[in-house]
Amino acid sequence: MNEKVMVSPEIQSEAVVLPQIVSIKQASQRMGLPEYYIRRLCREVPGMAFQSGIKWYINLGKMADYFNGGTTTS
């Protein structure tokens, strides 16, 4: 079980950046905004959030971009 895996230098230098996906409640706590406002943004701003069933999930990076620049891109 103690095997060493050889990885090429190209793979070692690549950084994987994953988006921070949070619920409405978590986004509200982190951003200091009311939950109703975040729900409205989820419906009105394309690309910032997605819905799974009845639950919304927000990409915090896109939400920050929206507030910093006023727009998001899908």
How is domain 18-69 classified at the architecture level of CATH? Alpha-Beta Complex (3.90)
The owner of tokens 């799974």 is: 52
Q: What is the pLDDT of residues 43-71, one digit of tens each?
A: 999 999 999 999 999 999 999 999 998 76
The owner of tokens 């050889």 is: 6
Q: What angle do CA 25, 45, 73 make, to 5 degrees?
A: 115
Q: What is the pLDDT of residues 16-38, one digit of tens each?
A: 888 999 999 999 999 999 999 99
55 Cβ neighbours under 8 A, 6+ residues apart: 23
Phi/psi of residue 45, each to 5°? Answer: -105, 105
Domain ranges of the chain: 18-69
Give 1's pLDDT tier (boundaries 50, 70, 90): low
